[in-house]
Amino acid sequence: MANNQINHVALIMDGNGRWAKKRGLPRTAGHEEGCKRIIEIFDAVKANHIYCMTLYAFSTENWNRPKSEITLLFRYLDKFFKDNIADLMRDGVRVQVMGDITRLPKHSQKTVLEAIKKTKDNNNYVFNIALNYGSRQELVKATKEIATLVKENKLDINDINEQTISDHLYTSNLPPIDLMIRTSGEQRLSNYLLYQLAYSEFIFTPTYWPDFTKDKFEECLKEYQTRDRRYGKIVEE
Ligand code: IPE
Ligand code: IPE
Ligand code: MG
């Protein structure tokens, strides 16, 4: 069995609404319960010596939801940082954000910017959260930045390579993503990390995010250990 060290795990926290519906509760009750799993899973991430966790919290497409749900989601985000910032500091966690946060409610922008600033020198772990994130938007942003460098004669067009693209993504300073887990049974990426996941292992679990406990996460880590990452090579048995 392969023994693959995981440096970076990415998660799509999905199924909050269906979890709530199953219980006859409003969708937002699912988001509230889902928030509790975030720190539980991040504790397991740290216990397993995984350096970075990237979380999909709000996509560029999620603006199409009712305003009342969006408002509450960002309230929960504020509460999450308020409740956990001291622990994040204690554990040497750096908070990073992916996505265009200028469209977020002002109070959430403030919360997020403060968390980033406060934790910027920490380097034991990274808590990377995608907010108003879309992979296509990220690739457009990267393309514009690279084109600008070429236009300003700071970069030769022949020197553009895969690293140049990586350098202009939100994840530029992070290790490659080893494992991507999506909860809730959906088997799609929903505009998440299209470039970064090119060689990652995927696990799709039917469990709704609010039911995705530490034990369920650790089952995924075990499953990852059975994977054979060949990267196109032939591996002799
Ligand atoms: C994931 O759960 C949370 C966000 C997208 C913010 P959903 O709200 O998508 O839950 P389902 O998929 O409708 O069950
Ligand atoms: C993806 O989940 C986005 C987040 C988890 C934040 P969605 O529930 O929005 O994705 P779709 O609509 O099922 O593709
Ligand atoms: Mg969903």
Domain-embedded: residue 233:
no
Strands 93-98 and 52-59: unpaired
The percentage of residues in the chain with a pLDDT greater than 90, rounded to a whole number, is 97
Gap from CA of 62 to ligand 3 centroid (Å) = 9
Number of domains in the chain: 1
Residue 230 domain-assigned? no
Is residue 151 assigned to a domain? no
| Ligand 2, atom nearest to 186 Cα | 13
Return the percentage of the chain with pLDDT > 70, whole number: 98
Query: Which tens digit of pLDDT belongs to each residue from 111-150?
Result: 999 999 999 999 999 999 999 999 999 999 999 999 999 9
Q: Are 197 and 177 in contact (CB under 8 A)?
A: yes
Which residue's CA lies nearest to atom 10 of ligand 2? 190
Site to probe by mutation for ligand 2, drawn from 54, 61, 104, 137 as the one with most ligand atoms within 8 Å of Cβ, is: 61
What residue numbers bound the domain in which 205 lies?
Answer: 8-134+177-225
Q: Model confidence at 1, in pLDDT bands (50, 70, 90)?
A: very low
The answer, yes or no, to whether any atom of ligand 2 lies below 6 A from the CB of 191, is no
Evaluate whether residue 142 is within a structural domain. Answer: no
Residue 100, in any domain of the structure = yes
Nearest ligand 1 atom, CA 21:
14
| CA 205 / ligand 2 centre spacing (Å) | 15
User: 202 in a domain, yes or no?
Assistant: yes
Asked if residue 85 is part of any domain, the answer here is yes
Strands 8-12 and 179-182: parallel
Instruction: Give a yes or no: residue 160 inside a domain.
Output: no
For the annotated catalytic residues, the residue numbers are 14, 62
Is residue 12 lining ligand 2, measured as CB closer than 6 Å?
yes
Q: What is the CATH number of the domain that holds 116?
A: 3.40.1180.10
Span from the CA of 99 to the centroid of ligand 2 (angstroms): 15
Give per-residue pLDDT as tens, 193-224: 999 999 999 999 999 999 999 999 999 999 99
* pLDDT digit string, tens, across residues 45-85: 999 999 999 999 999 999 999 999 999 999 999 999 999 99
**Looking at residue 35, what is its pLDDT?**
98
Backbone angles phi, psi at 208, to 5 degrees: -70, 150
